[in-house]
Structure 1
Amino acid sequence: MTATHTSRTSRRERLLIVCPGRGTYNQGEWGYLARHAGGTEWLARLDAMRRERGMPTLSELDGELPFRLSLHGRGEHASPLIYACAMADIMAIDPERYDIVAVTGNSMGWYIALAAGGALTTDAAMLLINTMGQLMQETLVGGQLLYPWVDAQWRPQPELRDELLAWIPRLHGQEGMELYLSIDLGGMLVFGGNDKALERLARELPPSERFPLRLHQHAAFHTPLQRDVRETARQRLTVTPFQAPATPLIDGRGRLWMPWSTCREALWDYTLGEQLVSPYDFTAALRVGVREFAPDRIVIPGPGSTLGGAVAQTLIQLDWQGLDSKANFQARQAEDPRLICMGIEEQREWLLGR
């Protein structure tokens, strides 16, 4: 099932869908898929695809095998689980009441966006996500480290951002260190690099609450360290399943892929090319989404809700609908939520039941 793009004059509420990436399926999300997609025909197909490859099915991982980060956090398991949970939420959105005007995502969320927007079928996206998760886990080159550049009220601190980015040229190339910007994630920067560079960076950055934060079982996504993964992926995954989306897609550069003008070869080339080895600008993607499509609400499918903070921080940077601080955002959310995290059960029920 894919989102349907309709006229901008539609009276239905306009939604921008923001698909989640890695790190959103944790112990608290165990059982999410069973609750929202258990018994569905499409989940049975995805389970069969996994079974044919000698891998535990998504249903088994989500309901039968007790949650263990060492198991569920592995790329070949975590990525398909997140994909299936997100698709269950997107499929639950009523097209009679909501108009999905565009779809984007964070990092791995780009693969989910391809399915949500109709550029890949549900099964084809599963093959892509399963393959990429397995390749990343098999190589697991380098890692990622997260650090914020906003204050406690989520207001931008551009001087701090400049100071953080200055560590890249300062460390890269010294004593075998490789360090890059991996993701521009709202009010946070995600650095990607080899272990030596990330360990040094973690020592240099001032500790702040739980930061700097090294992400568990994450490779150096969106950096040149993924060149080998890129080449292998391009050999295993062909252009054949790709097609023009039914709904506009916004990629990790802020570029639009429109239903009437997308070249499927170019979409394949970006997905298995530049997207893997260059920084992912989630902030730019969200900026294009809110400015070009003027959504009434922004919806983050489950599992989890960790992407909500990054989205809110970006909206504050953009002064979207007058948002200027965390307190302002929270007050607006309590009155009339404009950002919906479907991984939060109350917000999911609010969106689907209103």
Structure 2
Amino acid sequence: MTRRTAVVICPGRGTYNAAELGYLGRHFPDAALLARFDAVRTAAGQESLAALDGADRFNLARHSRGDNASGLIYAATLGDFLSLDREGVDVVAVTGNSMGWYSALACAGAVTAEAGFTIANTMGSLMQAALIGGQTVYPWMDEDWIPRPVRKAALLALVADIAARRDHALALSIDLGGLLVLAGNEAGLKAFESSVDPVQGRFPMRLGNHAAFHTALQAPVAAQGRAALPAELFAQPDLPLIDGRGAVWWPGATDRASLRDYTLGHQVTETYDFTAAIRTAAQEFAPDLFIVTGPGTTLGGAVAQSLILARWRGMASKTDFQKTQADQPLLVAMGMSEQRGQVTQQGAIR
């Protein structure tokens, strides 16, 4: 079999939902490692991942809490990375969306699996305890995924206008392909949501149990994270690591203190540019495949939209992407059972 190069993409919050219940039980390949994760949670007085993942039914209030969701998503992501068929897949770089950065750190070897879990679990718990502000999502591309830059500029101008109002906080949280993820306080979010037209039957869409991630409102959480997470957790990555600015942290050339400063500083309080991360992944590494780990299947659209914005392989619309994907698949979502087998050793997965 021909070995294919791949960039691995780790998803963020909001990706472990009802359909993902039992994901760790179905796919996590290392029971001893999962037990070590749960030992960390038990010591902190938290419910175990085994109990959460093995619940009879999904409960939004329980499973989507930051202190629970972060651990579940990190473990599911890392388990999928460990399940890759490395004889058939040559991972050339790793990136992630939002809290997926913590998972990407571990997948790239910049932190150990246990240290990555400590970072994800700590930050998720701190954000849940503070729960400062919230997030809403709105598209600037149409459903055909053709870029509409004038519309994007107008929406960002509206955000700036609202942010300038007294007692209103609003900012771009994540540049997510054809979506703008906005974050702020209740006044800022409501002002935006009441100023735009409802589109596609679901936008603007408020995200439950989400704080104002990647904005200045999270400065107190970032400070708490720096106090709790020492530099010793971080090391040189084994694989190139693409961050939320589109910058690359290279093996052998990464300063550990700088990586920690970014992770517990800029990454928490400034816009996360996922679109730029995917552009760098495509243009710098030119992989055969973009592999989105589980849990969930919702990040694939943003990856495809980001590739369209980068004009990767000449794609300029949803139709172009679908044709390219049909002719020679370039995007594999491990959360989809029909695609998972393309990049895993089935016999190695329990």
TM-score band (shorter)? over 0.9
SS in 2 for 1:156: coil
Provide TM-score, normalisation by structure 1.
Answer: 0.95
Decide which of 74, 79, 88 is 2:70's aligned counterpart: 79
CA deviation after TM superposition for structure 1 residue 351, in Å: 2.4
**2:149 aligned partner, one-letter code:** P
Cα deviation, 1:205-255, whole Å, max 9, x if unaligned, reads 111020011111110000000011011111111101100100000101111
**1:270 aligned partner, one-letter code:** Y
SS in 2 for 1:350: coil
Which residue number in structure 2 is paired with residue 286 of structure 1?
278
Matches within 5 A, 1:140-155: 140-155=131-146
Matches within 5 A, 1:82-161: 82-161=73-152
SS in 1 for 2:306: helix
Q: Distance in 2 between matches of 1:74 and 1:353?
A: 32
Cα deviation, 1:44-85, whole Å, max 9, x if unaligned, reads 111121112221111110013531000000001001101111
Cα deviation, 1:72-120, whole Å, max 9, x if unaligned, reads 0000100110111111111111222211000000000100000000001
Q: Distance in 2 between matches of 1:307 and 1:314?
A: 11
SS in 1 for 2:232: coil
Q: Distance in 1 between matches of 2:133 and 2:164?
A: 15
Q: Distance in 2 between matches of 1:155 and 1:59?
A: 42
**2:108 aligned partner, one-letter code:** G
CA deviation after TM superposition for structure 1 residue 169, in Å: 2.0
Q: Distance in 1 between matches of 2:37 and 2:345?
A: 28
CA deviation after TM superposition for structure 1 residue 326, in Å: 1.1
1:331 aligned to 2:323?
yes
Which residue number in structure 1 is paired with residue 50 of structure 2?
59
1:27 aligned to 2:21?
no
Are the aligned partners of 2:89 and 2:343 in contact in 1 as well (CA < 8 Å)?
A: no
**1:331 aligned partner, one-letter code:** K
Q: Distance in 2 between matches of 1:116 and 1:159?
A: 37
**2:218 aligned partner, one-letter code:** Q
Q: Distance in 2 between matches of 1:336 and 1:183?
A: 29
CA deviation after TM superposition for structure 1 residue 39, in Å: 6.0
Which residue number in structure 2 is paired with residue 228 of structure 1?
220
SS in 2 for 1:42: helix
Which residue number in structure 2 is paired with residue 203 of structure 1?
194
Q: Distance in 1 between matches of 2:338 and 2:38?
A: 28
Decide which of 239, 245, 254 is 2:237's aligned counterpart: 245
Are the aligned partners of 2:95 and 2:104 in contact in 1 as well (CA < 8 Å)?
A: yes
Matches within 5 A, 1:266-285: 266-285=258-277
1:301 aligned to 2:293?
yes
Decide which of 315, 321, 326 is 2:313's aligned counterpart: 321
For these two proteins, the number of residue pairs brought into alignment is 344
Unmatched runs of 5 consecutive residues or more in structure 1: 1-10
CA deviation after TM superposition for structure 1 residue 314, in Å: 0.8
Structure 1 moving runs of 4+ over 4 Å: none
Unmatched runs of 5 consecutive residues or more in structure 2: none
Q: Distance in 2 between matches of 1:124 and 1:267?
A: 14
SS in 2 for 1:191: strand
Q: Percent identity?
A: 49
Which residue number in structure 2 is paired with residue 70 of structure 1?
61
Cα RMSD of the aligned pairs, angstroms, is 1.3
